[in-house]
Amino acid sequence: MSDNNATIELKEITKDFKNTKVIDQLNLKVAAGEFLVLLGPSGCGKSTTLRMIAGLESVSNGEVLIDGDDLKKKANDGHTIAMVFQDYALYPNMTVYQNLEYALKVHKVAKDERQKRLESILETLNLSDYRDRLPSELSGGQKQRVALGRGMAKKSKIFLLDEPLSNIDVQLREKARDEIQSLHDRNKQTIVYVTHDQLEAMALGDRIAVMNDGIIQMVDTPENIYKNPTNLFVAKFIGTPQINVLPVWYQDGYLTMDETKLVKLDRINSIDPKDYLLGVRPEHIKVSKNSESEFSVPTKVTKIVDYGRYIQLTLDLNGQHVIKAVTKDIDCKIDDTVFIRIDERTSIIFDKDSQKNIYWDRV
Amino acid sequence: MSDNNATIELKEITKDFKNTKVIDQLNLKVAAGEFLVLLGPSGCGKSTTLRMIAGLESVSNGEVLIDGDDLKKKANDGHTIAMVFQDYALYPNMTVYQNLEYALKVHKVAKDERQKRLESILETLNLSDYRDRLPSELSGGQKQRVALGRGMAKKSKIFLLDEPLSNIDVQLREKARDEIQSLHDRNKQTIVYVTHDQLEAMALGDRIAVMNDGIIQMVDTPENIYKNPTNLFVAKFIGTPQINVLPVWYQDGYLTMDETKLVKLDRINSIDPKDYLLGVRPEHIKVSKNSESEFSVPTKVTKIVDYGRYIQLTLDLNGQHVIKAVTKDIDCKIDDTVFIRIDERTSIIFDKDSQKNIYWDRV
Amino acid sequence: MNRKKNALWHLPLMIIGIIALLPVVFMISNSFKTLQESYQSILSLIPNKPTTINYTTLNHQVNLARLAWNTFFMATLVTLGKLFTGLLAAYAFRYYQFKHKNLIYLLFVATIFVPFTIVMIPNYLVIAKLNLLNSVIGVALPQLCDATGIMIFLKTMEKIPGSLFDSLKIDDIPNRRIFFNIVLPILKPSIISVGAMFFINSWNEYVWPTLILKDKSSFTLPLALQNYISSEGGTNFPLAMALSSIMIVVPLIIYLIFQRYILNSISNSGLK
Amino acid sequence: MNRKKNALWHLPLMIIGIIALLPVVFMISNSFKTLQESYQSILSLIPNKPTTINYTTLNHQVNLARLAWNTFFMATLVTLGKLFTGLLAAYAFRYYQFKHKNLIYLLFVATIFVPFTIVMIPNYLVIAKLNLLNSVIGVALPQLCDATGIMIFLKTMEKIPGSLFDSLKIDDIPNRRIFFNIVLPILKPSIISVGAMFFINSWNEYVWPTLILKDKSSFTLPLALQNYISSEGGTNFPLAMALSSIMIVVPLIIYLIFQRYILNSISNSGLK
């Protein structure tokens, strides 16, 4: 708790909408000054969660605590929370400067103070030249910056952002991302940021909460989420091209597929002999022209895409499985046979029924 | 020229719109059966070019030749060209099956033939279960497949696609891309594909035509465009994070920046001593903890993002330049000093005034 | 924001609610009063001794079935005619290029604001010249140029994305088919709502039919009502109110059946 | 598609064009004919010997300036009143939750289809009871509940994205400020066009003012025109046409000035 930021705590939040649970008993703590990203596919409830934190959506059950105080019992004071919307929600009849100034003016912030704050924000966001333009005269990227600026002008303790980059050109997104990052570095507000773009989430979040079907699947740092996802959904949602998933059978220390031994498990040997799903990220598939070990498996190259920085191979295994591999340099042609190898260290093993990562709670 | 596909040739095409040249003397040849991608930022004229090939937009000057015949002199017969639109343009009052069938029915294709064709298309695109649904009852990805199927049903020689993937979820795009690719592999139609997404272009195109301001900047294979772009625009447009661009001075075999020698040029030594721009892609910046050669330059780490497959560093050089580097494994913290090295082989040198790649026409 | 402020905002709603709905309640109420009670307390909303005498009397005095049929026939004819011209005109405005298109459109819309008082006499003279007095065609003809319908259809057509027509053009689909197979089905909700509007307006119309229809046998309901009212002040006020109440039934039913279309298409209302 | 087919599609346009515009041309033409010529060839479009005699006669017979002022004053009052109630009501419908909101809205819109003939008498009686006969307020009062305006404003308000109001809510901006600082400025084009429409309709109105305004000094232009026409067939037809032509000038000017707004807004709402 400080002047700059506040903690957020969601306690057993449930949200019903027309008799369906949109959010189901959700618990989440955001530390003061943390940058938390809510990540998930469309319709997973991430925007609803954000709107409940903002007080725009009522909570069917549970509590939203801001700095320990229940939001329901304390009306929004107009100061604590600022929010940036996906469509920016700029006031179309006001200039850039008036948009930034409006809430301050209504809440009787002194003119000198207003001017000082806004000049510095316009400066920071490179908007000084556009101060007298109407929103309709701005490009998408500029509108996005104005929306950001309007949120900043309030000097709120909590800053909520709802897919703020989804309406601007791909080329500009990287720059806008860096801007948001450096704002957080400077102001240290508590930020909750909603997005469906996993790269954005990885780049920005101190921690990421991956949501699906109204339930938080995993909350952790980007690194842990990538390397050690709790379940198959998280594993598939993060990373492009998607993680390879192969049906395997465990017995006597080996994972086998179609009678072929794929991986020798040394780290863990106390799992039941039964069907599992083996997840291997494309960059962890080791591709070579020759068989290099007893675990090398021959595959046929069906597609090669050179993205410049890396080469993506689509491989066919026995005509039954499609495997994507990412490598830096390999000299092969379509229809060549190449060998792949999978390492235990980079293998993620999921229970076939629960789709949970069986390693996860053992680490 | 064959039954399946046709050549396209644009000869000195100019398009004026309200006294501004949208397209300026554009020349482009698409071989029969080729997959050509028109890539560029919004407003670069790529969609207009596609619409001129389709005959939807008149040409102010020049000729559009389909299999050698001028499009202007030969009315569209409804058979040669099929097109998929960004918003899919499905007939909202017809079911999926009716959408696919409509043009065939109007053009009196026999019922048996129609049925045979459509069944196989519905099968291929996984749409059999949705044949009786209205477009409003479909998801974005399904709509996109119906639009694709409607184009396929015509068995046209030329297939035009205008940003067909821009309205569907990121998660589904990879799959949709693969689908389009395999359709082309199977049917070998001539395809012209418009997109603003460079990764899509790299993945799909036999060749890519990069456009800007109504002018084609470069037409070549994805690999060549990435490795040896003709000018700074192309270099910056392709690749993410963007290529690093540093102002350098050439003298006596060395590229120097702020008095520091960066690169020794062995391949070329006949260039004028003057200002150049040095382009280096982030993955070609060699980062190490210790100085490894006389060309190692010390920088300060300002940001580290772990994307799982690779780590992206933002480096500060003398407080004056920001350099982005992509590496696989490096053990460093924010504010550490690391050394970077640039190799001649991966350096792209642009003339400062014309912004042209000075190597390009020498290769 | 507290409850007091909230109530303040309801005030205008209540005022215009009263202004809007009171006359109708008043009409229905008086149709169930005796002539005597109506004279004594015309503004009281609930009749002392409700009676259906006015309705039975009315049934004796006029041929209600005949009146209703005439009104229905005329309204149907006018509605179909207006839909036909409106749809074709809107399609022409949307998809054909011709000289002075914008100017012509501007003039069309301008006709909405020319008061009927002004065009009444010229129209009457033309209908007389064409020997169409006393005929339903004579009533319908001058109404065929309803610019409102053209505007609504044009607007709906403009909402159809251009790519749909590009697609049809690439597939070389002839215009006639585009109109019938694509445009009309897409416009169905608009056609229903505009049609309902046309029908109701035509059903209620009295000034123009009064001029054209002289023969009692071709009278419509509003004309009959006019007869009851025009005798300066109304010799039998409850009787007129009874006829009014009958007359309002058909528009009410149509409105209720098609309210979803009407509310959507006219105002795209999304109160939920 | 060949030219013949093209011409076919122009036919409905030409027909309704003639139906729509002929009466106005005819009116202007006859206002420049002598009484004699008008009798002889009333349907000829170009006067043999154009004369301005009707206009000068008219100027002697009535006080045109007074009539125009009365009309203007009444139309302005009605317009402002309708805009005021319409905007407040639409805002209440859009941003407040109250019981039976949808039903109330449905009833409001229903009033558009209740014919004036039917509400005329109840309204007259109420105005008489309120002692407002012969006053402009009496003319204006029953018109304040114009559902058309509410519908158009409501529709425009619905186009304002919900996130704008979410944003205002997060910033804790009071309702009064939202209405005046945000909603009204955004609605400006709608207000202008609906205002122009209200004004023109009110300017042209004659049935209701005829009932309320008995005193010649408070007569409006349409009432004066009514006097020239009502003497069964028109004793001086060219004179009536001259007055019509004068009366049409103000709406025409307003329409031309605001046409951009009007074309957009009417076709959006789909109602007159």
DSSP characters over C49-103: S---HHHHHHHHHS-HHHHHHHHHHHHHHHHHHHHHHHHHHHHHHHH---TTHHH
The kind and range of the H/E element at B305 are strand B297-306
Same domain, residue pair A332 and A248: yes
Whether A315 contacts A331, CB under 8 Å: no
pLDDT band at A342, cuts 50/70/90?
Answer: very high
d(CA A193, CA A184): 12
Domain CATH number, residue B280: 2.40.50.140
β-pair partners for B61: B14
**Residues C172-198: b if buried by 16+ CB within 10 A, e if exposed:** bbebeebbebbbeebbeebbbbbbbbb
Same domain, residue pair B200 and B293: no
Domain contains B359? no
Same domain, residue pair A270 and A189: no
Q: What percent of chain A has pLDDT over 70?
A: 97
Q: Which candidate from B54, B78, B106 shows the least CB-CB separation from C177?
A: B106
Domain CATH number, residue A17: 3.40.50.300
Distance from CA of C263 to the nearest CA of B (A): 21
d(CA A173, CA C61): 79
Q: How many CB atoms lie within 10 A of CB B263?
A: 23
pLDDT at A81 over 70: yes
Whether A334 contacts A303, CB under 8 Å: yes
pLDDT at D166 over 50: yes
Predicted local confidence at residue C1, as pLDDT: 39
Contact list in A for residue B242 (CB cut-off 8 A) is 174
Contact list in B for residue C181 (CB cut-off 8 A) is 102
Chain D CB within 8 Å of residue C270 CB: yes
Computed over every residue of chain B, the mean pLDDT equals: 90
Q: What is A56-95 written as a DSSP string?
A: SS--SEEEEEETTEETTTS---SSSEEEE-TT----TTS-
Residue (of C60, C35, C59) closest to C47 by Cα position:
C35
B2 CB contacts (<8 Å, ≥6 apart)?
B32, B33
What is this model's ipTM? 0.82
Domain contains A146? yes
d(CA B237, CA B210): 9
β-pair partners for B248: B276
Whether D209 contacts A96, CB under 8 Å: no
Q: Do the chains contact at A78 and D170, CB–CB below 8 Å?
A: yes
Same domain, residue pair A92 and A153: yes
d(CA C193, CA D270): 10
Computed over every residue of chain A, the mean pLDDT equals: 90
Q: What is B51-89 written as a DSSP string?
A: HHHHTSS--SEEEEEETTEETTTS---SSSEEEE-TT--
Q: How many CB atoms lie within 10 A of CB B166?
A: 16
Predicted local confidence at residue D8, as pLDDT: 65
Q: What is A38-60 written as a DSSP string?
A: EE--TTSSHHHHHHHHHTSS--S
pLDDT at A127 over 70: yes
Predicted local confidence at residue C270, as pLDDT: 30
Q: Which candidate from A83, A91, A102 shows the least CB-CB separation from D170?
A: A83
Pick from C165, C171, C176 the residue to mutate for testing the B interface (most B CBs within 10 Å): C171
CATH fold of D63-267 reads MetI-like fold (1.10.3720)
d(CA B129, CA B117): 16
β-pair partners for A246: A278
From A121-130, A225-234, D138-147, the region with the lowest mean pLDDT: D138-147
From A1-5, C26-30, C72-76, D205-209, the region with the lowest mean pLDDT: A1-5
From A97-106, A200-209, B289-298, D104-113, the region with the lowest mean pLDDT: D104-113
pLDDT band at D235, cuts 50/70/90?
Answer: low
Domain contains A3? no
C157-166 contact pairs (CB < 8 A, 24+): C157/C90, C157/C91, C157/C94, C157/C183, C157/C187, C158/C94, C160/C186, C161/B87, C161/B89, C163/B85, C163/B86, C163/B87, C163/B88, C163/B89, C164/B89, C164/B91, C165/C95, C166/B51, C166/B54, C166/B56, C166/B83, C166/B85, C166/B89
Residue (of A335, A344, A343, A296) closest to A314 by Cα position:
A335
pLDDT at B326 over 50: yes
Residue of A nearest to D185 (CA): A93
Q: Which domain holds residue B311?
A: 244-351
Q: Do the chains contact at D9 and C42, CB–CB below 8 Å?
A: no
Q: What region, left, alpha or beta, does residue C167 occupy, with left being phi > 0 and alpha being psi -120 to 50 degrees?
A: alpha
Residue (of C18, C16, C54) closest to C34 by Cα position:
C54
Contact list in B for residue C177 (CB cut-off 8 A) is 106
- CA C39 vs CA A17, C30, C109: distances in Å: 56, 10, 46
Q: How many CB atoms lie within 10 A of CB A185?
A: 11
Q: What is C158-205 written as a DSSP string?
A: HHS-HHHHHHHHHTT--HHHIIIIIIHHHHHHHHHHHHHHHHHHHHH-
DSSP single-letter state for residue D111: G
pLDDT digits (tens, 9 = 90+) for B106-147: 999 999 999 999 999 999 898 999 999 999 999 888 999 999
Residue of C nearest to D196 (CA): C113
Q: Using the structure block, give the residue that is written with the tokens 């060998």.
A: A339
Number of H helices, E strands in chain C: 15, 0
Residue (of A342, A332, A340) closest to A303 by Cα position:
A332
d(CA B254, CA B162): 46
Q: Do the chains contact at B83 and C167, CB–CB below 8 Å?
A: yes
d(CA C167, CA B160): 11
d(CA D202, CA D208): 10
DSSP single-letter state for residue C130: T
Q: In the predicted model, what is the mean pLDDT of residues A67-86?
A: 83
Residue (of B167, B161, B163) closest to B184 by Cα position:
B161
3-state SS, residue A118: helix
CA dihedral C213, C215, C218, C224 (to 10 degrees): 80
d(CA A95, CA A257): 64
d(CA B329, CA B327): 6
Chain B CB within 8 Å of residue C263 CB: no
Listed as ranges, residues in chain C with pLDDT below 70 are: 1-9, 230-235, 264-272
DSSP single-letter state for residue B283: G
Predicted local confidence at residue D269, as pLDDT: 46
Domain count of the fold of chain B = 2
Same domain, residue pair A231 and A274: no
Same domain, residue pair A141 and A275: no
Predicted local confidence at residue B306, as pLDDT: 87
From B291-305, D119-133, D230-244, the region with the lowest mean pLDDT: D230-244
C180 CB contacts (<8 Å, ≥6 apart)?
none
Contact list in A for residue D175 (CB cut-off 8 A) is none
Domain contains A303? yes
Domain contains A151? yes
Q: Do the chains contact at D255 and C1, CB–CB below 8 Å?
A: no
Predicted local confidence at residue B66, as pLDDT: 92
Same domain, residue pair A225 and A263: no
d(CA C17, CA D89): 10
Computed over every residue of chain D, the mean pLDDT equals: 84
Q: Which candidate from B76, B88, B92 shows the least CB-CB separation from C186?
A: B92
Furthest-apart CA atoms within chain B: distance in Å:
77
Domain segments of chain D: what residues? 1-51, 63-267
Residue of A nearest to B237 (CA): A171
Predicted local confidence at residue D3, as pLDDT: 42
- Chain D segment 195-254 residues within 8 A of A by beta carbon are none
C110-114 contact pairs (CB < 8 A, 24+): C110/D252, C110/D255, C111/C145, C111/C147, C111/D20, C111/D21, C111/D24, C112/C147, C112/C148, C112/D266, C112/D272, C113/D197, C113/D200, C113/D201, C113/D204, C113/D251, C113/D252, C113/D255, C114/D23, C114/D24, C114/D248, C114/D251
Give the neighbours of chain D: at least 3 Cβ pairs within 8 Å: A, C
Residues on chain A bordering chain B, Cβ-to-Cβ distance under 8 angstroms:
41-42, 169-171, 174, 178, 181, 196-197, 199, 202-203, 222-223, 226-227, 237-242, 281-283, 303, 305-309, 312, 314, 326
Predicted local confidence at residue A258, as pLDDT: 85
d(CA C216, CA D192): 45
Distance from CA of D151 to the nearest CA of C (A): 6
- Chain D segment 148-207 residues within 8 A of C by beta carbon are 150-152, 154-155, 158, 174-175, 197, 200-201, 204, 206
Query: B237, B261, B292 — which closes off a domain?
Result: B237
Q: Do the chains contact at C166 and B77, CB–CB below 8 Å?
A: no
- CA A244 vs CA A278, B201, D101: distances in Å: 8, 23, 54
Query: B205, B237, B269 — which closes off a domain?
Result: B237
Contact list in C for residue B48 (CB cut-off 8 A) is none
Give the residue with greater pLDDT, D6 vs B203.
Answer: B203
Chain C CB within 8 Å of residue D20 CB: yes
Same domain, residue pair A165 and A209: yes
Residue (of A117, A99, A192) closest to D173 by Cα position:
A99
N-terminal to C-terminal alpha carbon distance within chain D: 36
The kind and range of the H/E element at C30 are helix C3-31
Query: A237, A257, A277 — which closes off a domain?
Result: A237
pLDDT digits (tens, 9 = 90+) for B329-357: 788 999 999 999 999 889 999 999 999 99
Domain contains B339? yes
